Amino acid sequence: MQMRGGGGEVEVKRVFIGAGCNRIVNNVSWGASGFVSFGAHNAVAIFCPKSAQIVATLPGHKSVVNCTHWLPTSKFLFKAKQLEQHYLLSGDADGSIILWELSLADGKWRQVLQLPQMHKKGVTCISGIMVSQTEAMFASTSSDCTVCVWELVFPMTGSGDCKLSCLDSFSIGSKSMVALSLAELPGDDGQIVLAMGGLDNKIHLYSGGRTGKLVHACELKGHTDWIRSLDFSLPINVNGEVNNIFLVSSSQDKGIRIWKMALNCTMLNGNGMYKKGEISLSSYIEGPVLLAGSSSFQISLESLLIGHEDWVYSVMWQPPLVSSIEGDTYYQPQSILSASMDKTMMIWQPEKTSGVWMNVVTVGELSHCALGFYGGHWSPNGDSILAHGYGGSFHLWKKVGNDNWLPQKVPSGHFAPVTDISWARSGDYIITASHDQTTRIYAPWKVEASLQDGEFWHEISRPQVHGHDINCMAVIHGKGNHRFVSGADEKVARVFEAPLSFLKTLNNATLQKSCSSDDILGNVQILGANMSALGLSQKPIYVQAVHEIPERSGIDGIDTLETIPDAIPTVFTEPPIEDQLAWHTLWPESHKLYGHGNELFSLCCDHKGELVASSCKAQSAAVAEVWLWQVGSWKAVGRLQSHTLTVTQMEFSHDDNYLLTVSRDRQFSVFSITRTGSGEINYSLLARQEGHKRIIWSCSWNPHGHEFATGSRDKTVKIWAVEKDSSIRQLMTLPQFMSSVTALSWVGLHHQRDHGLLAVGMENGQIELWNLSCNRADDGCIAAPGLAAALVVRIDPFTCHASAVNRLAWKKNQEDHTSMQLASCGADNCVRVFDVTV
């Protein structure tokens, strides 16, 4: 991505995207392209299972993405061999459905079209089939109790347009459908069958021609709770004939049912009625007959699978496998994957001799702690299975050898808006805070050059797993061990310190064996931390205590839903997976900072690592005061009064002589901070000024001067300077932006005090980089004509956030000043890192 502006040429490249999956059934789809799609708030995220990296996010939805569906899915890989473009459908909570196109040649995405708005409420399921190489049919259903059937014709060449038509739309009564599956029926009629299930506990089958209306054919009864998932097999060979297809259904009654649909050889009589034979015992066992065109299908219950201990949210047939050496014929394996809220996935297959369906593989764990899986998916070649869970997490297993399924690395991230982001003092990692009640650490995991080139970012620790939404955090920049402070929807700020297990894991990730880190390692006596029962405080696990294993007697040894497992702090030699992150990477809490009257909202630390400033949600001047805390003793050493409403962001100047605060009251304040020889802190209000016409969301100091920027809901960014006489002068206002300005971060260029880049993040998710250059007089003050500003890059929307940018942070102390890194976090649940080359 390059753009030439007043400041020369700047190139921006995506390095990392971290995001959690929306906690919704039908949210994930594994395509024949090999990529997995999922909803991350209102963005559609795409990840590559081979690299465990999110490679793109697609902006376009205005509300939460409920479901995604590839055309072709992994089931239709055999029909997609020649396709140059693959397509993706995504539906959201407003009822909108968007069609996206992926070009396999260059990996580029584009939004093809938004479907006509047929649904008035949220889309709950999309299911489609490939009728031919260039033609697909799909159905969509919504909580407004409507179902639509669509036909999509792909262009023969890459430059053509898709042709979309709505074949049918009908209402299905007062109880909405949440599961759909489409299939082509065996036979020469080209008949389509649509199965749907939902809140009335029945499976409804509709049939019809490829282009005509679908008619209600029959109902399948048996489940005693909501139907959650349906999937048709491709035709299966039974006794040498491929005249049968199977439908698998799962429900909140914890059961899975397999229905057989066998083509009847008996023809219809002249009146179009099916000729019934004499009443026999089998007719009582067999279910209804499905009429489709001139064919009829006898439906019977093939098997009832009982094994899960909670709701079964998804069932899926294994994709077709190659049946010939040439690779041109395929067969449907008799293998079903199920995923349940009991936190297990199971693979079911019929026993070879008796034909009885059995559970042959179980992965996951019957969990004592968290809710389980919302869905399970096969890879296109059937050698991997993927689940997505309650914590917004992915779980991937790959078959190694004969039925040995091993966990694999997957992307991870927050599953709620990410509120704050900061670089480590060393620049080795970023730490983020979120409303999902966690803080997370991401780092580039370097690999020895002999094994692999380059590095991939991964989540390497989850220092805080809390019981309240976390609003802010600040890294302590002083010497000694890694520390940070976090503030949540509570009146207390909490201080955390890195345990020994994290420090050693970080050394493995960065391939560092430095002396300074060895000094820290020698002083740290805490190995890890345990979570408390209420999920608030995190208690340390000391190095000596690891050797003392307490004896558990009788009743204590039984895990119940109320017990919390003991953490096992681990030094990782490769990026940890979800279950390890959730329990074994916590940091111990070292201090609590009491003082504020309301929930914490903003935190910052000075550059020397001596002071931390904190603010809370406020509607009066008394509550809106900013508290100063001394690092180390953690005593309150100041209460700064100026604002009347919540202070939204604070930042210390590069020399720590000033503290800048901005607030909902539309004002900014600059405080002078001085330190006496005895270590006392003196502070005074230098200036308070109404800077904008609406809420001021963000601020940032020039890292080489006493200029600062403020950004507001009024869509403007203003640049100010602290003069020699301590007065504040406005230097300029940048041209008005398209959206509210919600995040700012200023970085210096090439150690030049007079040149910098200002990153501007907006409510619509866009990020722009502006070149700021100062014209300074000999005394260091900015002289006329003052400041020059030029837009140098507007970052590609497919790389930016899909909703508000909450915070931006440049990596400090970068050795190479032509290549810098910018981190961002947003309301779309995403964390992003960009390489910026100047």
The two structure tokens encoding residue 289: 């007959």
328 — pLDDT class (breaks 50, 70, 90):
low
HSE-CB at 214 with a 13 A cutoff on CA atoms is: 32
HSE-CB at 426 with a 13 A cutoff on CA atoms is: 16
- Structure confidence at residue 272 (pLDDT): 45
- Structure confidence at residue 618 (pLDDT): 93
What's the start-to-end Cα distance of the chain, in Å? 12
Hey, which residues does 542 pair with through a beta bridge?
Answer: 526
The whole-angstrom separation of Cα 74 and Cα 379 is 6
C-alpha radius of gyration, the chain, whole number: 30
Least Cα distance to 608 among 653, 640, 672 occurs for 653
**Which is it for the CA torsion 45, 49, 50, 53, positive or negative?**
positive
The whole-angstrom separation of Cα 27 and Cα 226 is 18
The two structure tokens encoding residue 33: 């392209």
- Structure confidence at residue 782 (pLDDT): 59
Q: Which of 227-241, 538-552, 586-600 has the highest mean pLDDT?
A: 586-600
Residue 274, pLDDT > 60, answer no
Query: Which amino acid is located at 107 in the chain?
Result: G
What would the mean pLDDT of 714-735 be, rounded to a whole number?
Answer: 91
Q: 223-227, 420-424, 446-450: lowest mean pLDDT where?
A: 446-450
**760, 775 in Cβ contact below 8 A?**
no
- Please report, for the chain, how many H helices and E strands are present, in that order: 4, 63
The whole-angstrom separation of Cα 613 and Cα 156 is 61
Q: What is the pLDDT of residues 163-176, one digit of tens each?
A: 999 988 888 888 88
Chain centroid to Cα 89, Å, comes to 18
212 — pLDDT class (breaks 50, 70, 90):
confident
Q: Which of 359-373, 664-678, 804-818 has the highest mean pLDDT?
A: 664-678
**203, 220 in Cβ contact below 8 A?**
yes
The whole-angstrom separation of Cα 65 and Cα 235 is 32
- Structure confidence at residue 704 (pLDDT): 85
271 — pLDDT class (breaks 50, 70, 90):
very low
What is the pairing mode between strands 236-238 and 255-263? unpaired
- Structure confidence at residue 180 (pLDDT): 94
Which H/E stretch holds residue 578? Answer: helix 578-584
Top-confidence residue, 425 or 549: 425
The structure's pTM equals: 0.90
Residue 374, pLDDT > 90, answer yes
369 — pLDDT class (breaks 50, 70, 90):
low
- Structure confidence at residue 276 (pLDDT): 46
Count the helix, strand and coil residues of the chain and give each as a percent rounded to the nearest 5. 5, 50, 45
One-letter-per-residue 3-state SS of 774-806: EEECCCCCEEEEEEEEEEEEECCCCCCCCCCEE
Question: How would you class 441 by CB atoms within 10 Å of its CB: exposed for 0-12, middle for 13-18, buried for 19 or more?
Answer: buried
HSE-CB at 778 with a 13 A cutoff on CA atoms is: 0
What would the mean pLDDT of 636-665 be, rounded to a whole number?
Answer: 94
768 — pLDDT class (breaks 50, 70, 90):
very high
Top-confidence residue, 128 or 528: 128
Helices (H), 486-535: 500-510, 515-523
Top-confidence residue, 725 or 378: 378
The two structure tokens encoding residue 576: 């940890």
The whole-angstrom separation of Cα 179 and Cα 523 is 57
- One DSSP character per residue, 68-109 reads EEEESBGGGGGG-TT-SEEEEEEEETTS-EEEEEEETTT--E
Question: How would you class 799 by CB atoms within 10 Å of its CB: exposed for 0-12, middle for 13-18, buried for 19 or more?
Answer: middle
The two structure tokens encoding residue 249: 């259904």
**835, 818 in Cβ contact below 8 A?**
no
812 — pLDDT class (breaks 50, 70, 90):
confident
Hey, which residues does 744 pair with through a beta bridge?
Answer: 760
The whole-angstrom separation of Cα 330 and Cα 113 is 33
Q: What is the pLDDT of residues 221-253, one digit of tens each?
A: 999 999 999 999 988 776 667 788 999 999 999
The whole-angstrom separation of Cα 725 and Cα 235 is 84
One-letter-per-residue 3-state SS of 130-172: EEECCEEEEEEEECCCEEEEEEEECCCCCCCCCEEEEEEEEEC
The whole-angstrom separation of Cα 48 and Cα 189 is 39
Residue 558, pLDDT > 50, answer no
Hey, which residues does 350 pair with through a beta bridge?
Answer: 357
Residue 517, pLDDT > 60, answer no
What would the mean pLDDT of 67-80 be, rounded to a whole number?
Answer: 89
Give me the chain's average pLDDT, please: 86
Characterise 185 by phi-psi region: left (phi > 0), alpha (psi -120 to 50), beta (else). beta
- Structure confidence at residue 764 (pLDDT): 93
| Residues listed for the chain | 838
**46, 127 in Cβ contact below 8 A?**
no
- Longest distance between any two alpha carbons in the chain, whole Å: 108
Hey, which residues does 31 pair with through a beta bridge?
Answer: 73
The whole-angstrom separation of Cα 131 and Cα 76 is 10
CA dihedral 760, 762, 765, 768 (to 10 degrees): -30
The whole-angstrom separation of Cα 519 and Cα 504 is 12
Count Cβ atoms below 10 Å from residue 2 Cβ, excluding itself: 10
- Structure confidence at residue 278 (pLDDT): 43
Count Cβ atoms below 10 Å from residue 47 Cβ, excluding itself: 25
What would the mean pLDDT of 41-55 be, rounded to a whole number?
Answer: 93
Burial 689-723 (b: 16+ CB within 10 A, else e): eebbeebbbbbbbbbbbbbbbbbbbbbbbbbbbbe
Return the SS3 of 693.
Answer: coil
